[in-house]
Amino acid sequence: MERHIDLPLTEETAMSLRVGDHVLLSGVLYTLRDAAHERMICQLEEGIPIPFDTKDAVVYYAGPSPAREGQVIGSAGPTTVGRMDKWTPQLIDLGVRGMVGKGKRSPKVIEMISRHHAVYFGAIGGAGALIATHIFKNELVAYEDLGPEAIRKLTVKDFPAIVIIDCEGNDFYELGRKRYLNDERSRLFHAVPEGVH
């Protein structure tokens, strides 16, 4: 059963989520990719603040395709997040509570997620057309010159995601696969004809 989650993501809600939970996110997501991270963190070191409110914010690692006339957004699926691991600890330190993307995270990021009671959600990679139907508002926040890598504020409703790393540091990429393989093994065992074992 899917759980409805309102954003921004409070610490309390984050702590109640566990790996494998199917959730529907409603509220604001900020898109963030490589180039925006790089610029944002550089500027922060020069004393320029992050261009959005990071407290309990949820970032979406995505670079949508352009919208046609009459559309809110183009295709808008997640990008591979490992490339962003370098900057993630700083973002979590700044109060970011949730991240939506796809792909593995580094041990350092997993440790930060568990220490700061954050959550990493997985969205379905390559399902950008389907995900776009859950996005109702698309506003530019900063760095327009970065094109697809600009920071955008997306207002979403019932955006489907799965909890991949929870606040205890559990990783669903490991657990989900393990559960499947254990199940598969036990099925193979039971499939052996009677009298053989």
* Contact (Cβ atoms closer than 8 angstroms) between residue 119 and residue 11: no
Among 15, 125, 155, 169, binds another protein (CB under 8 A): 125
What SS3 class is residue 21? coil
- Tell me 193's DSSP state: P
Binding of residue 112 to another protein (CB under 8 A): no
Which is nearer to another protein, 18 or 104 (by Cβ)? 104
Question: What would the 3-class secondary structure string for 31-73 be?
Answer: ECCHHHHHHHHHHHHCCCCCCCCCCCCEEECCCCCCCCCCCCC
Instruction: For residues 187 and 185, give the distance between their C-alpha atoms in angstroms, rounded to a whole number.
Output: 5
Question: What would the 3-class secondary structure string for 103-149 be?
Answer: CCCCHHHHHHHHHCCCEEEECCCCCHHHHHCCEEEEEEEECHHHHHH
Which is nearer to another protein, 54 or 132 (by Cβ)? 132
What SS3 class is residue 96? coil
Pick the piece of the chain touching another protein (CB under 8 A) from 45-53, 86-94, 172-180, 189-197: 172-180
Among 4, 6, 55, 71, binds another protein (CB under 8 A): 71
- Per the structure block, which two tokens stand in for 17? 């989520």
Among 42, 48, 129, 140, binds another protein (CB under 8 A): 129
Report the site for another protein in 18-57 (rule: CB under 8 A).
20, 35
Among 59, 128, 142, 165, binds another protein (CB under 8 A): 128
Q: How far is the CB of 62 from another protein (least distance, A)?
A: 7
Interface mask (CB under 8 A) for another protein, residues 73-102, using x and -?
A: -xxxx-xx-x-------------------x
Which is nearer to another protein, 54 or 150 (by Cβ)? 150
Among 48, 136, 180, 186, binds another protein (CB under 8 A): 180
Nearest alpha carbon to residue 59 among 191, 161, 145, 173: 161
Binding site residues, another protein, CB under 8 A:
20, 35, 62-68, 71, 74-77, 79-80, 82, 102-104, 122, 124-130, 132-133, 146-149, 160, 162, 172-173, 176-181, 183-184
